[in-house]
Amino acid sequence: MTKTMIGIAASEGIAIAKAFRLETPELTIEKTVVTDIDAEVGRFEEALTQSKAELEVIKEHARKELGEDKAAIFAAHLLVLSDPELSNPIKDKIKSERVNAEFALHEVATMFITMFESMDNEYMKERAADIRDVTKRILAHLLGVTIANPSMIFEEVIIISEDLTPSDTAQLNRQYVKGFTTDIGGRTSHSAIMARSMEIPAVVGTKTVTGHIENGTLVIVDGIDGKVIVNPTPEVVKTYEEKKAMYLAQKAEWTKLVNEHTVSADAHHVELAANIGTPEDVKGVLKNGGEGVGLYRTEFLYMGRDQLPTEEEQFDAYKSVLEQMEGKPVVVRTLDIGGDKELPYLDLPKEMNPFLGYRAIRLCLESQDIFRTQLRSLLRASIYGNLKIMFPMIATLDEFRQAKAILIEEKEKLECEGITVSENIEVGMMVEIPSSAVIADLFAKEVDFFSIGTNDLIQYTLASDRMNERVSYLYQPYNPAILRLIHMVIKAAHKEGKWVGMCGEMAGDEIAIPILLALGLDEFSMSATSILKARSQISQLSKEDIEQYVESILSMTTTEEVVSLIKNRF
Ligand code: PEP
Ligand code: MG
């Protein structure tokens, strides 16, 4: 039977494909005493054989679809699996201690992982990661559970999942993953943001989608209206194929604006930039006519791996982005880890309120080795383009000053080493904590620019968790509290001759765009896929006309009033 579920439209587009349930099972290990030792050793050997067979298949797929270097990861895993140095101590432990295979495997593997991780050698540290991965695979076989690997999907599917972590999303193979839908999440959760930049249609926050869709069921994800249709009839499929064609035709129309500047009907010029997470995203920026990168979320470089990226790895990524952008501005945000973006290998203690906790610049100012490495690679890369650096989650002037002082120290150190660094790097900050918006006048004297991070600014101002669909009614971009804060920031910056961008999702919102234009926002940074639509919209707006309504918009008490004014007038 056909069923329609409503969720939050997280990434535009229509996808029609079979469902693929992505589940992360709990791998819990209990210690038990075994009586039949030979049978237990046999069970372990069987799990080993199954893991090897599975890895051979994955390796072959990876080689064909993703290339030799990705396949090499699985070749390394196969080597670990075949190594008697790992399997013999496990069997010995089962025999001598009469314990179950799961427990013996866990104990021995943990011993090796700890040993390799403590070595001061990158190669050995990577071996620890291999062992961890391989152990998980054997354990899954022992426990009879399947671990789905999102990067290893080789047929057209729609992913169905309770939630997708940003690193799961980063691993999705865009060629085959046509769309996704989740039980939880909001429009500004990072998997939603990534889906937009990957142009994968997505509906999140459906609450119960995993309870209604079996593997292989035909599903339609309508990322335009936030609907998921399960088991559609052929007529419904046809309707959605038409809707998809119309959407694609509209997109093609916008494409004509790809090489245009962004100018309003009354000749006011603004810059439309894109938010990116990886160097690969730059292709999408250029394809969609981005005039710059307004936010490079560098934390994705740190995620989906087992250790911190080296200075060289980071340098390569930053250089690649700057070179591809060929002199257009690139605003790189320093590491913003924490909140929903975790780095398991940093082993940070769990917090009651991660969004208010030890994260972003707070972590960087304390773990300065991590911060300094990133700044060095950024400074070294600065000569390859038009780099601007900004710090996330700045709450106080002191934090900005400390971060900037460290940046200057690193620049001087590099220059002493004879390494050239650009002299024209602007240094700015995100305004995403209400305190910094309120004292924007004080910050404006010290920064080169602001970028307003409304995703967080809204959640902190209205105390409404951006990830929690139950309080999403309070997540109100057009609330006068938000609009007034934005207005204050822009006025304060302009008074000091500084420019203001916005890199929160609000910058690409069609109701917000006229208001932001009238408030004087200089740069709008959004998902690359929203740029052409926004350029088309701005070309039809008169800044002067909207300015006349600004005062009344800033006093409107409900979202509905704002939406209706904008829709009816502009
Ligand atoms: C924001 O908070 O608006 C922002 C752009 O940063 P992030 O979404 O990465 O928290
Ligand atoms: Mg933020």
Say yes or no to pLDDT of 241 above 90.
Answer: yes
Residue nearest (by alpha carbon) to ligand 1 atom 1: 453
- CATH, range 37-143: 1.10.274.10
Distance from residue 94's CA to the centre of ligand 1 (Å): 50
- pLDDT of 275 over the 90 cut: yes
Residue 458: pLDDT band with limits 50, 70, 90? very high
HSE of 120 in the Cβ direction (CA atoms, 13 Å)?
0
Whose structure tokens read 């040993």? 115
Indicate whether 70 pLDDT > 90.
no
Q: How far is the CA of 319 from the centre of ligand 2 (A)?
A: 24
Mutate to test the pocket of ligand 1, among 302, 432, 459 (most ligand atoms within 8 A of CB): 432
Choosing from 106, 141, 364, 503, the catalytic residue is 503
Q: Give the ligand 1 atom nearest the CA of 299.
A: 9
Has 359 been labeled as part of a binding site? no
Q: Write down the pLDDT at residue 389.
A: 98
pLDDT above 90: residue 566: yes
How large is the average pLDDT for residues 430-435?
A: 98
Among residues 223, 208, 159, 205, the alpha carbon closest in space to that of 3 is found at 208
Per-residue pLDDT of 337-355, as tens digits, reads 988 788 888 888 889 898 9
For the chain, the distance separating the N- and C-terminal CA atoms, rounded to the nearest angstrom, is 42
CA distance 150 to 148: 6
Residue 215 annotated in ligand binding: no
Q: Which residue owns the Cα nearest ligand 1 atom 4?
A: 453
**Which atom of ligand 1 is closest in space to residue 392's alpha carbon?**
6
Quote the pLDDT of residue 66: 60
Q: Is residue 146 very low, low, confident or very high in pLDDT (cuts 50, 70, 90)?
A: confident
Q: Which of 191, 336, 390, 525 to mutate to test the pocket of ligand 1 (most atoms within 8 A of CB)?
A: 336
Please tell me the distance between residue 257's alpha carbon and the centre of ligand 1 in angstroms.
Answer: 27
| Catalytic member of 190, 268, 364, 487 | 190
* Ligand 1 centroid from CA 31, angstroms: 44
| pLDDT above 80 (res 24) | no
Please indicate if the annotation marks 401 as binding a ligand: no
CA 44 to chain centre: 38
Pairing of strands 499-502, 449-452: parallel
Which residue, judged by its Cα, is nearest atom 6 of ligand 1?
453
Distance 486 CA to ligand 1 centre (A): 15
Which pLDDT belongs to residue 121? Answer: 67
Whether 416 is catalytic: no
Q: Would you say domain 432-570 falls under CATH 3.30.420.40? A: no
The full set of domain ranges for the chain reads 3-23+149-239, 37-143, 276-427, 432-570
Task: Kindly list the distances between the CA atom of residue 57 and the CA atoms of 51, 113, 154, in Å, as whole numbers in the listed order.
Answer: 10, 26, 12
Residue with the larger pLDDT of the pair 19 and 116: 19
Amino acid at 482: I
Higher pLDDT, 395 or 307: 395
Local structure of residue 527 (DSSP, 8 states) = E
Residue predicted with more confidence, 179 or 151? 179
Q: Is the pLDDT of residue 163 over 90?
A: no
Residue nearest to atom 8 of ligand 1 (CA): 455
* 390 φψ region: left (φ > 0), alpha (ψ -120 to 50), beta (else): beta
Closest ligand 1 atom to residue 505 Cα is: 3
CA distance linking residue 293 with residue 284, whole number of Å: 11
117 vs 462, residue with greater confidence: 462
CATH class, range 276-427: alpha beta
**Closest Cα partner for 318 from 393, 377, 252?**
377
Q: Which residues pair with 432 in a beta bridge?
A: none
Task: Please tell me whether 432 is known to bind a ligand.
Answer: yes
- Residue 537 pLDDT > 80: yes
Name the band, by pLDDT with cuts 50, 70 and 90, for residue 196. confident
Q: 21 among the known binding-site residues?
A: no
The answer to whether domain 276-427 and domain 432-570 are alike in fold is yes
The CA distance from 452 to 504, in Å, is 7
CATH number, span 3-23+149-239: 3.50.30.10
Q: Please list the residues that pair with 5 across neighbouring strands.
A: 228
- Is 466 part of any known ligand binding site? yes
Q: Ligand 1: which atom is nearest the Cα of residue 188?
A: 8
Ligand 1 centre from 332 Cα, in Å? 13
Can you give the pLDDT at residue 126? 67
Mean pLDDT of the chain: 92
| Structure confidence by residue, pLDDT tens digits, 485-531 | 999 999 999 999 999 999 999 999 999 999 999 999 999 999 998 99
Q: Is 503 a catalytic residue?
A: yes
Q: Distance between CA 554 and CA 485 in Å, rounded?
A: 10
**Ligand 1 atom at shortest distance from the alpha carbon of 504:** 3
Query: What are the tokens at 260?
Result: 């245009």
What residues are neighbours of ligand 2 (ion), with CB under 5 Å? 432, 453, 456
